[in-house]
Each structure stands twice: as structure tokens, then as C-alpha cells.
């Protein structure tokens, strides 16, 4: 089939593949982006998903596919929630690609499969394409693939794509290493080329909002995939998505209980929720935004770096991102900082997580040690800690009523940051009991100043659907 040809009809509905890796850094994202672009050139509608709590890779997927990429996480959300998300979002697509996280079996800890790519693949009954970095391998690639097959026989390891291959002879040796030893079949490779690399920084890849996925990169990736990967065989290996699951799971289908079905509660009036979105703030789960819309919010996007003042809204949602990279622009926009401060002082609801907390702090000290004034709602400074990463799944329980719900509400999320918050005065209320994996007990977090809730935790609203309803209800007061 030529690149411009239309693929065979999808009478059986969308087809599904999981792109897993031997480890982090083997090229899962590069290959996923190349496949998305190659399928697009075949006039196929491709829907992307990402295993784990990541925001950056889904943003890159969206640039190429033109569709939001949804997160699938086996620790934050239930099996039914994951299956229903795929069924709902893949409906109407020709192919669904699920990019894995880290190594195929890596997740919550070293003993269970919670949070891993393997767990999601098995929940979905999806064939797995294993990405192997072959830059320093030849026949040993067979041993690696065989080990992955035998480690979990229930995993449907169907195919292998080799990355950073030195040439056709190297590719032939790699394929020969699998023949007769492994069930998985080699379906192609990407050559070792600098023009196929994605830019990185301290928290991972450079984001899609920063135009890292250029037309030239998309073209180079697609051409390399079309030349060296058997797309027809990949599509033949893909499994059908059971789109009949669409709509089966109620709005309380998260891992922890949630709100009652909408029919059991009066529909709130529609509200206008201001969502910070620009180069500095862009880390939002699409499902969080979808749930807010479904709960009655019209989302109004605004830029803390570029806009002169806030739009007319009933509440604010300030998500994560890279405020440390744009600290000077944020500080220089004194009019916006004052507008946010006045909005919060007027007792309007504000929910800020991670980068949003950093923006609402008193000051933000960047990696060069320069302090920049921020909004100042949270009376403490934030400092960048080069080389020290906080990365942890977190479960929060509200210990008092807050914009996200009443006391006792439980939700799950994760922390992912290289900054640290100076000690917050004891007079500032904490409304989260936060439990991190591998931790004991719980610590107080979730700073509440008036009706402004600030935390380092990125919450996935699918883990407790009631929080979206609660935030919208708070805006309606």
C-alpha cells in the first residue's frame, strides 16, 4: 500500500495496539508519533492514549493526531474506567495507539503490575508492540524479547520494532535473532538518525505547546516509518476495540466512589471556569476538562503570561506546566498577578495544582537562583532544585470542605516536580491528608486560603468523578 492510499475499510470498528518499551528512553514516543503521522497520511483517523500520569507525551500525540490524547492509569483509575475511556474515545477512529510508560512491566512498585503498561494491555486485551533500543545489540535482542515473553505469558506480545538501527544488515541480524526463538515478529525498525530525536529537558521531553513537533520532524518520522516498518502487518495484528462498552460505566466509575449518577441530582446552572493555558501552564488531563464541561462548566482559556487581565469567569483552574521557565514573564505581568490576587480575595473559588501552586506562591526562585515575585496568595517561596525530582503516586482525602468536595472525599493523582516549597505558616489550613506509595500514614497538604485550594498533586478526576461536580458547584455559589 502506498502512503497516500486509503487503508482497507474498518467494518469491524477501530483497531488497537499498545506500544511498549523495554525501558524508558528506548524511543516509544518517537515511534508512536511516527506511526500516528504515517497513519494520518494514509487518511486513517488515529486516536492516541498514554499509559501513566504523564502530560507531555499526550500533548505531543495531540499535535500529530489533531485529537486529545487520553491517559490510562491502572493505579489512579479502575479497569472499567480504562476500558470505557478507550471505547468512548476510539469510537469513530480507524486505529487506536496506546503508548506505554517506562518499561513494559514498570509501574507502582517492583512487586505488582499496578500502573504498568502490561496491566493496561491485559485489561484491554490488546496486542503489544515492544520497542527495543538496538543501538548496542545484535543477537542479544532475541534474549531480551524472549525474556519479556516469558516474564508474563498472559501478555499478548505480538511484534517488535527496533530503534536506533545501524543499517539494513544490522536490521537483518536483529530479525534473525527473534526467528525460531520468539513468538513476537519483527515488523520493522527506525534507523539511528539525529533528525529523528525529540528535544528533552529537566522533566522530560519538551512540550507540544512549544512547537517541538515541527512539520520537518513529522515528515522525517513518517518517511522513516513508511520506509522501514510494515504498517500493513501492524494493522493486521491489531485487535478490535469493543466500542459497545461506550456509555456503560456511570459517572461514579472511578477507583474510589464518586458522585451519584447525574439523574439523581439537580442539574446546576452553567458556570464560566477560567482555565490557565499557555506555554507556562498546559498540564491538564483532557478527561478532567471533559468532566468539568459535563458538570456544567464553559471553559474559558486565558494566559497568565500574555493576557492583561482575567476574563469574566466564576472560578479559576490553574494546572501544571513549566512556570519556572517563564518566571520572568509571569513576574513582569504584574497586572495579571494583581487580577488573580483580587479574584481570590473576593472569595471566588480557585483550584491550583503543581505549577499553579508555584504561580500562587509569594516568590519563585528559578534554577539560576533569581527570585521572581508571584501572585502571593500562598505565603511561602518556591525554589527550583536542580537534579532533585519528586515523582510519586498520591492519594488525597479531604479533611475539611473545599472547592473539590466535602470532607471525606478521596481522589488519586501524582506529584511530578523539581521544585520545593518553603515551610508554609501553620496558620494556613491544610485540607488534604496525603498518602504516597511507599509512605506510611499521611501528611497534611492541600493549602486552603479562603476558597483557593493549592497543592502539588495533579488529580485525575476519573479517580473520583464527584470532584468535577463539586468544583462547578463551588463556582455556581
Active-site residue list: 354
Q: Whose CA is closest to 55, among 472, 460, 464? A: 460
180: left (phi over 0), alpha (psi -120 to 50) or beta: left
What cell does 78 get? 479502575
Amino acid at each position: 500500500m502506498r502512503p497516500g492510499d486509503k487503508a482497507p475499510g474498518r467494518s469491524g470498528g477501530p483497531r488497537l495496539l499498545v506500544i511498549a518499551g523495554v525501558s524508558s528512553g528506548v524511543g516509544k514516543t518517537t515511534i508512536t508519533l511516527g506511526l500516528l503521522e504515517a497513519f494520518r497520511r494514509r487518511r486513517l483517523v488515529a486516536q492516541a492514549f498514554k499509559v501513566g500520569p504523564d502530560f507531555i507525551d499526550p500533548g505531543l500525540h495531540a499535535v500529530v493526531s489533531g485529537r486529545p490524547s487520553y491517559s490510562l492509569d491502572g493505579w489512579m483509575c479502575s479497569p472499567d474506567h480504562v476500558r470505557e475511556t478507550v471505547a468512548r474515545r476510539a469510537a469513530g477512529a480507524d486505529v487506536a495507539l496506546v503508548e506505554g510508560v517506562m518499561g513494559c512491566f514498570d509501574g507502582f512498585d517492583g512487586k505488582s503490575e499496578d500502573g504498568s503498561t502490561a496491566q493496561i494491555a491485559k485489561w484491554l486485551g490488546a496486542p503489544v508492540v515492544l520497542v527495543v533500543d538496538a543501538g548496542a545489540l545484535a543477537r542479544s535482542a532475541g534474549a531480551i524479547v524472549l525474556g519479556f515473553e516469558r516474564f508474563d505469558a498472559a501478555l499478548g506480545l505480538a511484534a517488535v520494532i527496533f530503534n536506533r538501527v545501524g543499517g539494513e544488515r544490522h536490521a537483518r541480524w536483529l530479525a534473525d535473532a527473534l526467528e525460531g526463538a520468539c513468538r513476537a515478529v519483527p515488523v520493522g525498525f527506525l534507523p539511528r538518525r539525529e533528525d529523528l530525536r525529540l528535544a528533552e529537558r529537566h522533566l522530560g521531553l519538551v512540550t507540544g505547546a512549544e512547537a517541538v513537533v515541527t512539520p520537518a520532524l513529522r515528515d522525517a518520522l513518517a518517511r522513516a516509518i513508511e520506509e522501514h516498518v510494515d504498517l500493513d502487518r501492524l494493522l493486521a495484528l491489531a485487535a478490535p476495540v469493543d466500542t459497545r462498552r461506550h456509555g456503560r460505566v456511570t459517572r461514579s466509575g472511578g477507583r474510589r466512589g464518586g458522585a451519584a449518577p447525574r439523574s439523581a441530582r439537580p442539574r446546576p446552572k452553567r458556570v464560566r471556569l477560567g482555565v490557565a493555558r499557555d506555554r507556562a501552564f498546559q498540564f491538564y488531563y483532557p478527561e478532567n476538562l471533559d468532566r468539568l464541561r459535563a458538570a456544567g462548566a464553559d471553559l474559558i482559556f486565558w494566559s497568565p503570561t500574555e493576557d492583561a487581565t482575567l476574563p469574566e469567569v466564576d472560578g479559576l483552574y490553574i494546572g501544571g506546566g513549566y512556570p519556572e521557565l517563564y518566571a520572568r514573564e509571569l513576574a513582569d505581568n504584574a497586572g495579571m498577578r494583581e487580577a488573580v490576587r483580587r479574584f481570590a480575595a473576593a472569595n471566588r473559588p480557585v483550584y491550583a495544582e503543581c505549577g499553579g501552586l508555584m504561580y500562587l506562591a509569594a516568590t519563585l526562585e528559578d534554577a539560576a537562583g533569581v527570585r521572581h515575585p508571584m501572585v502571593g496568595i500562598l505565603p511561602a517561596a518556591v525554589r527550583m532544585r536542580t537534579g532533585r525530582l519528586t515523582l510519586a503516586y498520591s492519594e488525597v482525602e479531604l479533611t475539611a470542605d473545599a472547592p473539590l468536595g466535602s470532607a471525606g472525599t478521596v481522589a488519586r493523582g501524582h506529584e511530578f516536580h523539581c521544585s520545593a516549597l518553603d515551610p508554609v505558616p501553620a496558620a494556613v489550613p491544610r485540607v488534604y491528608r496525603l498518602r504516597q506509595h511507599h509512605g506510611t500514614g499521611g501528611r497534611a497538604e492541600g493549602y486552603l486560603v479562603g476558597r483557593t485550594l493549592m497543592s502539588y498533586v495533579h488529580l485525575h478526576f476519573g479517580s473520583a468523578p464527584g470532584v468535577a461536580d463539586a468544583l462547578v458547584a463551588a463556582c455556581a455559589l
